[in-house]
Amino acid sequence: MKSKLKRPVPAIVIVCLLMVFITGCWSSREIEDLGLTFAIAIDKGKETNTEKELKEEGGSYPKKDNITLTYQFVNEKAAGAGTSGGGGSGKGDQKAYINISETGDSLQQIGSEVALRRDREVFSPHLKVVVLSEDVLRTYSIGKMLDQFFRDNEIRLSCLVLSAKGEAREALQLKENGEIPAFRLIGLGENKHKASRILPPMTLAKLIGKLHSGSSFLLQNVVAANGAVKYSGAAVINGKSRKMIGTLNEYETEGITWIRGEGKGGVVKSHDKKSQQTIAYDINKIKSKIKPIVKGSDISFHVDIESEGDLVENWNTKEVLDTQFIDRLETNIENEVKKIVGHVLKKIQHEYKADVAGFDESLRIAYPHLWKKVKNNWNDTFSKADITYSVNITITHYGTVKTQ
The per-residue pLDDT for range 342-388, each reduced to its tens digit, is 999 999 999 999 999 999 999 999 999 999 999 999 999 999 999 99
Residues 392, 385: Cα–Cα separation, whole Å = 23
How many degrees, rounded to 5, is the angle at CA 256 between CA 253 and CA 257? 95
Q: Yes or no: say if 265 and 192 are a contact pair by the CB < 8 Å rule.
A: yes
Q: What number of other Cβ atoms are within 10 A of residue 401's Cβ?
A: 8
Q: Could you tell me the residue ranges of all domains in the chain?
A: 32-248, 256-397
Confidence of residue 395 (pLDDT cuts 50, 70, 90): very high
300: which strand partners?
Answer: 293, 386
Coil, strand or helix: which one is 37?
strand
Q: What is the pLDDT of residues 306-356, one digit of tens each?
A: 999 999 998 987 877 788 989 999 999 999 999 999 999 999 999 999 999
**What does the pLDDT average to over 235-243?**
96
Residues 253, 251: Cα–Cα separation, whole Å = 6
Identity at 252, one-letter amino acid code: E
Residues 50, 70: Cα–Cα separation, whole Å = 13
Task: Give the torsion sign (CA, 359, 361, 367, 368).
Answer: positive
Average pLDDT, the chain: 87
Q: Which of 148, 111, 140 is nearest to 44 (CA)?
A: 140
Q: Yes or no: say if 56 and 77 are a contact pair by the CB < 8 Å rule.
A: no
Q: Rounded to 5 degrees, what are φ and ψ at 188?
A: -60, -35
Residue 15 has a pLDDT of 56
Residues 250, 267: Cα–Cα separation, whole Å = 13
Question: Strand 386-397 relative to strand 129-133: parallel, antiparallel, unpaired?
Answer: unpaired
104: which strand partners?
Answer: 67
Residue 84 has a pLDDT of 42
**Percentage of the chain exceeding pLDDT 70:** 86
Residue 249 has a pLDDT of 97
Question: Strand 121-123 relative to strand 277-295: parallel, antiparallel, unpaired?
Answer: unpaired
Beta carbons within 8 Å of 97's beta carbon, 6+ residues apart: 38, 72, 73, 74, 75, 78, 172, 180, 181, 182
Beta carbons within 8 Å of 185's beta carbon, 6+ residues apart: 39, 128, 129, 131, 160, 162, 171, 222, 229
Q: Yes or no: say if 236 and 194 are a contact pair by the CB < 8 Å rule.
A: no
CATH number of the domain at 256-397, please?
Answer: 3.30.300.210
Q: What is the pLDDT of residues 154-172, one digit of tens each?
A: 889 999 999 999 999 999 9
* Own/partner pairs, 78-82, CB within 8 angstroms, 24+ separation: 78/177
Residue 90 has a pLDDT of 41
Q: Which of 397, 195, 392 is nearest to 311 (CA)?
A: 397
Q: Which of 254, 260, 315 is nearest to 287 (CA)?
A: 260
Q: Which of 256, 268, 388 is nearest to 336 (CA)?
A: 268
Identity at 392, one-letter amino acid code: N
Q: Which of 44, 52, 50, 51 is nearest to 69 (CA)?
A: 44
Q: What is the pLDDT of residues 40-94, one digit of tens each?
A: 999 999 998 998 999 888 888 898 999 999 999 988 777 554 444 443 444 557 8
**What does the pLDDT average to over 182-206?**
94
Q: E strands along 296-346, which residues? A: 298-314
Q: Yes or no: say if 268 and 280 are a contact pair by the CB < 8 Å rule.
A: yes
Residues 145, 67: Cα–Cα separation, whole Å = 10
Question: Strand 160-164 relative to strand 129-133: parallel, antiparallel, unpaired?
Answer: parallel
